[in-house]
Amino acid sequence: MQIQENISLKDKNWFKTGGNAKYFCQPTSNPEFKQALEFADKNGLNIFILGDGANILISDSGFDGLVINPKLKDIKINNDLVTAQAGVNIQDLIDYTLDNNIIGLEEFSNIPGTVGGSVYINIHYIQYFLSDFLISAHVINKITGEIITVNKEWFNFGYDKSKLQKKEYFLIDALFKLKQVDVIQAAYAKGRRDEIIRHRKYRYPNSNTCGSFFKNFAQEDINFNVNGKKITAVAYYLDKIGIKGQLRVGNAVVSNQHANMIVTHEGATSNDVINLAKEMQRLVFISLEFYHNLNAKS
């Protein structure tokens, strides 16, 4: 496996921003993954695991360590059990299972990313979470390179959360329990996949974005009611201040499709994204203060 030096990361993430990786590699097997970890340990390097780069913002100064971009791409089917390696694109996995009359993952259609990134953040859509289907996985220890088998409980899954975020272990593959069906049921699921994709393309930008930028508020964060209830959706408040498709810093702009999504244009920097996000925060906090004061007076 080749360890490359001074590799641009701009073309390896959805925002199309960021600097270079000091070192970069793309392991295609478990031994190569272990080799990459050994190289980082020997040279005292920080490690970043990069999938499709759909949910990250890379510093304009780059990454002064080793970026590992896994290219482990195998998918195996055993009745209703499907094993997919970390580098498999999640949409490719959905399409592959549907073509083999296995359903369940179509709920996550058109969510960008790899299996590794999807498990890392526990992707979700409406009431469905990827953790609903995962039953076990193989992970590799960052320090020792040992590959162990773990069950679902090991991950401590939550909303946008998994144990992988401690960055002590990295995903090798995941085992999903799905459902075998007949051709007619599979065709129905394919139709649902296509409709979810159509819906998401209509509602959300499909390039140069990381999806929803800000996490929604918790109930306890909101100390006033709007029409008799607490509204926790950040997009609601961003919509109210009229920034959708309007607010811009440099070559980063709030999406005209969704107020909680930032998109970049040619020449954008990660600092453009950061400064735009700060301005969005500032305007929302002003808005929340107004709502609070209005509620207090009434």
pLDDT at residue 221, as a whole number:
82
Tell me the pLDDT tens digit for each residue of 115-171.
Answer: 999 999 999 988 999 999 999 999 999 999 999 999 999 999 998 999 999 999 999
pLDDT digits 0-9 by tens, 14-37: 999 999 999 999 999 999 999 999
What does each C-alpha distance from 229 to 112, 222, 233, 268 come to in angstroms?
33, 10, 12, 39
pLDDT at 261: 97
pLDDT confidence tier of residue 292, bands split at 50, 70 and 90? low
- 220 to 89, 217, 230, 282, 298: CA distances (angstroms): 37, 8, 9, 20, 21
Instruction: Please tell me the predicted confidence (pLDDT) of residue 291.
Output: 66
Range 4-68: architecture per CATH:
2-Layer Sandwich (3.30)
Q: Among candidates 50, 41, 54, which has minimal Cα distance to 7? A: 50
Q: Give φ, ψ of 47 to 5 degrees.
A: -120, 140
Compute the distance between CA of residue 137 and CA of residue 131 in angstroms, rounded to an integer.
11
Residue 296 has pLDDT above 70, yes or no: no
In the chain, what are the domain boundaries? 4-68, 75-201, 206-297
Rounded Cα distance, 86 and 49, in Å = 11
What letter represents residue 66's amino acid?
L
Amino acid at 107: E
- pLDDT category, 82, cuts 50, 70, 90? very high
Cα–Cα distances in angstroms (integers) from residue 85 to residues 17, 93, 243, in the given order: 27, 10, 40
Cα–Cα distance, 216 to 171 (Å, whole number): 27
* Residue listed under structure tokens 């009434």: 298
Q: Is the pLDDT of residue 297 over 80?
A: no
Return the number of other C-beta atoms located less than 10 Å from residue 89's C-beta: 19
Q: Token pair 């996985």 is at which residue?
A: 137
Could you tell me the maximum CA-CA distance found in the chain, to the nearest angstrom? 67
C-alpha distance from residue 93 to each of 74, 83, 90, 110, 289 (Å)? 10, 10, 5, 11, 45
Helix residue ranges, H only, 22-114: 30-42, 90-99
Nearest to 19 by CA among 27, 11, 8: 8
DSSP state for residue 86 in the 8-state scheme: T
Same fold, 4-68 and 75-201: no
Tokens of 202: 């209509």
Average pLDDT over residues 101-111: 97
Domain topology for 206-297: 3.90.78
Q: In which band, very low, low, confident or very high, does the pLDDT at 295 lie, cut at 50, 70 and 90?
A: low
The verdict on pTM exceeding 0.75 is: yes
Q: In this predicted structure, what is the pLDDT of residue 294?
A: 64
Alpha-carbon span 90 to 134, nearest angstrom: 13
The CATH-assigned architecture of domain 75-201 is 2-Layer Sandwich (3.30)
- Which amino acid is present at 11? D
β-pairing, 179-180 with 248-249?
unpaired
Alpha-carbon distance of 167 to 48, in angstroms, equals 9
